[in-house]
Amino acid sequence: MYCYIKDILEKEILTKSDIIKLLRCEGKEKEELFAKSAEIKEKYIGSKVWLRGLIEFSNICGKDCLYCGIRKGNRNIQRYNLSDEEIINVAMFAYKNNYGSIALQSGELEGNNVAVRVEKLIRNIKELSEGKLGITLSVGEQKPGVYKRWFEAGAHRYLLRIETTNESLYAKIHPNDEMHSFGKRLDCLKSLQDIGYQTGTGVMIGLPFQTIDNLADDLLFMKNFDIDMCGMGPYIEHADTPLIHASGSLLPLNQRFDLTLKMIAIIRIMMKDINIVASTALQTIDPTGREKAIKTGANIIMPNITPAKYQSSYKLYDNKPCTEEFAEDCQNDFETKISIANTKVVYGEWGDSSHYDKRVEKT
Ligand code: SAM
Ligand code: SF4
């Protein structure tokens, strides 16, 4: 049996049944899996991580995803929207501290005002940083024309998680209406890729009703879609969301954590040169979660640089850490933490996915 996993790990292409075996492996076999993904990361990426200073610039959202703490229907949070000046100040903090890139994230709002505002912010940040600060966006589903405007303004990476690739599971964790359609989300992802963004997606792991079979399909979807970046994390309950009522069927948190590490390891083996995020949700379950993800195959960290006073209101799930990394002296602490995984934090570089260059060359 031990040899069997070893054989799978030597294969060029993994089948669905291989992936399911890897997702189920334990003990020595799991160690083999993690050793293989670490070896591939070392070979294709090196012992490095790149930074995206995360700016959660607004928790106002027009959608009602059943799992999310900042969903429109949650009346128990204080809504905020950083001013343009606040956003630019934080972006300049990232620039001056040599983060290399920022990620602008928010609840989802459509419309011309949002389109114009984000475009202006991208242009200002690009100008003030002399084009040196890379910009990743994660502001949900938008019209193709809007994605295009933002791309032309200078944003070059976009993260839009598909959440789950199983349509019937998607329907169980979202309201059943046009605003929350699986087809629309998929179309958005395609249009991001067509426009030319380095395109990232991912799923939540350990959702109610989710099976190992679903997770294997998610990994195959990412491979077939030819993504450039992957952001996956464990699903964590939020008491003020409708999905809390399905908590009875959940895996314990430590098993969701473990499954997430396996998903990271497997996607690293399947897609050797993509960027993989070590998600904050991992850190919520285990304070050294990010480091474990890096060791296993992740190469991107998103330190939260949102001004501390807003962080507690961007509460997607219970116990989300307020990292308060928006302080210059945190940089040392940050490097020390990462050094646990014998990893070098690369400052001042965009840290683009080399998979993207190869994908674009092919087309
Ligand atoms: N609104 C944008 C969107 O949905 O793409 C971007 C912000 S949204 C808060 C970012 C991600 O948070 C979602 O894609 C989802 O995977 C994750 N998320 C939301 N609620 C979560 C929960 N309870 N547990 C884990 N992740 C969650
Ligand atoms: Fe809004 Fe994104 Fe949360 Fe859905 S996941 S409710 S779109 S912030």
Query: pLDDT tens across 111-135, in order?
Result: 999 999 999 999 999 999 999 999 9
Task: Compute the mean pLDDT over every residue in the chain, rounded to the nearest whole number.
Answer: 94
19-22 own/partner pairs: CB under 8 Å, 24+ apart: 19/216, 19/219, 19/220, 19/266, 20/212, 20/213, 20/216, 22/262, 22/265, 22/266
Identify the pLDDT of residue 340: 59
Task: Choose the residue to mutate in 77, 81, 109, 204 for probing ligand 1, maximizing ligand atoms within 8 Å of C-beta.
Answer: 204
CB 166 within 8 A of CB 214: yes
User: For residues 229 and 300, is the Cβ–Cβ distance under 8 A?
Assistant: yes
Q: Specify which residues 159 forms β-bridges with.
A: 200
Ligand nearest to the CA of 192: 1
Compute, in angstroms, the gap from residue 11 CA to the centroid of ligand 2: 38
How many whole angstroms separate alpha carbon 219 and alpha carbon 164?
A: 10
Query: For 135-170, what is each residue's pLDDT tens digit?
Result: 999 999 999 999 999 999 999 999 999 999 999 999
- Mutational test site, ligand 1, from 55, 157, 161, max ligand atoms within 8 Å of CB: 161
Pocket test for ligand 2, best of 58, 71, 316 (most atoms within 8 A of CB): 71
* Residue pair 91/132 in contact by the 8 Å Cβ criterion: no
In the chain, the amino acid numbered 88 is I
Q: Which protein residues are within 6 Å of ligand 2, measured from CB?
A: 61, 63, 65, 68, 70-71, 107-108, 140
- For residue 68, give the ligand nearest its CA: 1
Residues 6+ apart with CB under 8 A from 193: 199, 225, 226
Q: Is 160 in the pocket of ligand 1 (CB under 6 A)?
A: yes
Residue 70 CA, closest ligand 1 atom number: 9
Distance in Å, CA 333 to ligand 2 centroid: 31
Kindly report, residue by residue over 51-70, the tens digit of the pLDDT: 999 999 999 999 999 999 99
User: DSSP string covering 272-286, please?
Assistant: TTSEEEE-HHHHHH-
Q: How far is the CA of 142 from the centre of ligand 2 (A)?
A: 13
Nearest C-alpha to atom 20 of ligand 1 is from which residue?
68
Mean pLDDT on 197-222? 98
Contacts of 147 (CB under 8 A, 6+ apart): 158, 188, 191, 192, 195, 197
286-315 as b/e, with b when 16 or more CB fall inside 10 Å? beebbbbbbbbbbbbbbbbbbbeebbebbb
Which ligand has the shortest distance to the CA of 114? 1
How remote is the CA of residue 223 from the centroid of ligand 2, in Å?
25
Tell me the CA–centroid distance for residue 70 and ligand 2, in Å.
Answer: 7
pLDDT at 135: 98
Residue pLDDT, tens place only, 215-253:
999 999 999 999 999 999 999 999 999 999 999 989 999
Nearest CA to ligand 2 atom 2: 107
Measured from the CB, is residue 104 less than 6 Å from ligand 1?
Answer: no
pLDDT at position 335 = 58
Q: How far apart are alpha carbons 240 and 113 in whole angstroms? A: 29
Candidates 316, 317, 318, 319: which one to mutate for ligand 1, based on the most atoms within 8 Å of Cβ?
316
Calpha distance 75→270 (Å, rounded): 42
Helix boundaries (H) for the chain = 2-10, 16-24, 27-44, 84-96, 112-128, 144-153, 167-172, 182-195, 212-225, 253-270, 280-285, 289-296, 308-311, 330-339, 354-362
pLDDT, mean of residues 323-340: 54
**Ligand 1 atom 14 nearest Cα:** 161
Q: Which pLDDT does position 324 carry in this prediction?
A: 46
Which of 60, 64, 70 for a ligand 2 pocket mutation test, highest count of atoms within 8 Å of Cβ?
Answer: 70
Categorise residue 324: left if φ over 0, alpha if ψ from -120 to 50, beta otherwise.
left
d(CA 162, CA 6): 31
In one-letter notation, the amino acid at residue 90 is V
Region of 96 on the Ramachandran plot (φ > 0 left; ψ -120 to 50 alpha; else beta): alpha
**pLDDT band per the 50, 70, 90 thresholds, residue 327:** very low
Q: Which residues lie closer than 8 Å to 213 by C-beta, 6 or more apart?
A: 16, 20
Burial of 77: CB neighbours in 10 Å, binned 0-12, 13-18, 19+: middle
Share of the chain above pLDDT 70, in %: 94
CA distance 185 to 268: 24
Contact present, 147 and 192 (Cβ < 8 Å)? yes
Give the residue among 302, 276, 294 at the shortest CA–CA distance from 104.
Answer: 302
Which residue type sits at 278? A
CA distance 257 to 269: 19
